[in-house]
Structure 1
Amino acid sequence: MSVWEIYAIKYGDRGGRTRADSFIFDDNHDAPHAIDYYMWLIKGPGRVILVDTGYDDEEATSRDRPIRLDPVEALKPFDLAPEDITEIVVTHLHYDHAGGLHLFPNAKLHMQAAEMAYATGPCMCHDTLRMPFTAGHVCEAVKRLYSGQVIFHDGDAEIADGITLHCIGGHSRGLQAVRVRTDAGWMVLASDASHFYENFMARKPFPIVVDLQDLLDGFDTLYRLASAPKLIVPGHDPLVRSYFPHAMADHIHRLDQGPLRDITL
């Protein structure tokens, strides 16, 4: 029975936000609310799986959202070169999760079929729904498809002993969370199924959403998949860095041993 190590890799952050940017319904919308940007690395015997890729300096300039580390630089403490990455779980195709796909040319992509259909379909005629996507990133995924480097999943799927994918949707049509067996129990990398602890713990939806019911139902799915609520890791919360210990570098935190203390709002 395989158990895996998991690392959260922070490559960027953004201040100048308010709670209105993070919660549809809130009683203090004008209060500051910062956000972190992460990739995740899953390591086991003879296998390394990258979960999402972040985005690069070109995208940072285009969106005026600077990053602190290029995704390739962020992985250097693991002694991993871009060509060493042969598997990437793409939780969804938004720019901050798939903006570095081109940096890892040898990687096969695990994606939900629903996400590719969404990112290349009629919903992209709407400016609001298209905003979190960048055409070049979606085209990179299509190029991988045509070169035989995309593995599609439709709902739940096991990609290794102790690693399963689960389509949740809501924030993006084919968003998937990653469930991983660790020493601490079943841990769930929620990605943007819950940007912050407060989203799923207080059931406060994030404003960028294609299907609100799927997003809210997804909170229940996260609880069902994890061995304990403390093992649900949100996709963008700065609190992750205070709950989990540093590993190797200031921008890396190890998740698989569980949090250092109880998680409360």
Structure 2
Amino acid sequence: MLIVKHGTRQTVKSDVFLNFPLYGEPDESIQMDYFFWVIRNAERTVVVDTGYSAHGGEVRARTVLISPPTAFELLGITPDSAPAVIITHAHYDHTGNVDYFDASEIVLARAEYEFWTGRHASRTQFHHSIEEYDLVQLDRAKAEGRLTLFDSHHTLAPGIEIIQVGGHTPGQSVVRVATSEGTVLLASDSVHFYEEYERDMPFTYVADLVKMYEAFDLIRDMNRSGEADHVVSGHDAETLSRFRAWGADGPFAGLAASIGRIEVQR
């Protein structure tokens, strides 16, 4: 399984942690990285999230380290290969470039899709919201029968389970993956930074604070019980350093890490 960093930005803790002044700590600079993830073995390839588009990054002044479409191409992941694509939640930095996968099955929590196509979505056109173009692509996938919506849990393939936890967004999901090095939990934005669930420090953008805390509890419980041996954050700059560097001699130098092999399960 691969973790690929495609973008980054510098900000401050008061920008990313909810009610940060209440902690009584000095404000500090913090790096926020942007990732997508690839799960693959000899039988299948699954892409988890698709990063931000050129437009989505430009209008928000995000640094592009490698464009996701270029990264996908270098990884041999082409539109014609039509890998399944899991969208953990519908924010611009997770749904950009979904049009690259114009023949793929797209998997998304029903609560997430219904929110962004529902009557309240126009009230939440804030910094993190989905780009209108990407929402059109999800609608297109639905019309073409390529959009799989799920409630609560969905097993995409043996060893790949998607779990809806909510909190950050109505349908925020995590992905649990069985590998040769143990079970990996792709926490996505249920844990932007490791500090969030280690110190109970919610992220600043939250749809349901109670569910966000419950997601922290779930991830801690899974980690303690062995249901998740590794937790992969959605944006922490330390993420890559926690795992094995990958592609050190090529275009992914400093931008990718790997965790185990995905065994063929029958």
Q: TM-score, normalised by structure 1?
A: 0.89
Q: Residue deviations 1:101-139, cap 9 Å, x none?
A: 011112110111000011111222324667522211112
Gaps of 5+ in 1: 1-5, 258-265
> 1:7 is matched by which residue type in structure 2?
L
1:162 to 1:65, Cα distance in 2 relative to 1, 3 A: same
**2 CA distance for matches of 1:105 and 1:127?**
27
Counterpart in 1 of 2:221? 224
The reply to whether residue 244 of structure 1 matches residue 220 of structure 2 is no
Moved more, 205-214 or 121-130: 121-130
Counterpart in 2 of 1:204? 201
**1 CA distance for matches of 2:215 and 2:7?**
26
**2 CA distance for matches of 1:125 and 1:59?**
18
Offset, 1:229 = 6.5
> 1:203 is matched by which residue type in structure 2?
D
Counterpart in 2 of 1:8? 3
The reply to whether residue 255 of structure 1 matches residue 250 of structure 2 is no
**2 CA distance for matches of 1:60 and 1:245?**
27
The reply to whether residue 184 of structure 1 matches residue 181 of structure 2 is yes
> 2:168 is matched by which residue type in structure 1?
H
Q: 1:35 aligns with which of 32, 37, 51?
A: 32
Counterpart in 2 of 1:120? 117
Offset, 1:256 = 3.1
Cα contact 2:182–2:229 (8 A) shared by 1: no
**1 CA distance for matches of 2:80 and 2:60?**
27
The reply to whether residue 175 of structure 1 matches residue 172 of structure 2 is yes
Counterpart in 2 of 1:3? none
Gaps of 5+ in 2: 262-266
The reply to whether residue 21 of structure 1 matches residue 15 of structure 2 is yes
> 2:12 is matched by which residue type in structure 1?
T
How many residues of Structure 1 are paired with residues of Structure 2 in the alignment? 251
Cα contact 1:82–1:105 (8 A) shared by 2: yes
**2 CA distance for matches of 1:153 and 1:33?**
35
**2 CA distance for matches of 1:13 and 1:53?**
15
Q: Residue deviations 1:197-243, cap 9 Å, x none?
A: 11111111000001000111001122334427761111011101211
> 1:253 is matched by which residue type in structure 2?
A
Q: Residue deviations 1:131-186, cap 9 Å, x none?
A: 52221111211111011111111001211111101001110101110001112222
**1 CA distance for matches of 2:221 and 2:47?**
24
Offset, 1:62 = 2.6
> 2:246 is matched by which residue type in structure 1?
A
> 1:21 is matched by which residue type in structure 2?
D
Q: Residue deviations 1:49-107, cap 9 Å, x none?
A: 00000122122223332312111212244222233242100001100000110111121
The reply to whether residue 62 of structure 1 matches residue 56 of structure 2 is no
Q: TM-score, normalised by structure 2?
A: 0.88
Counterpart in 2 of 1:110? 107
**2 CA distance for matches of 1:230 and 1:189?**
11
Counterpart in 1 of 2:92? 95
Identity of aligned residues (%): 27
> 2:72 is matched by which residue type in structure 1?
L
**2 CA distance for matches of 1:79 and 1:103?**
13
Q: Cα RMSD (Å) of the superposition?
A: 1.8
Cα contact 1:118–1:124 (8 A) shared by 2: yes
1:50 to 1:229, Cα distance in 2 relative to 1, 3 A: closer
Cα contact 2:182–2:228 (8 A) shared by 1: no
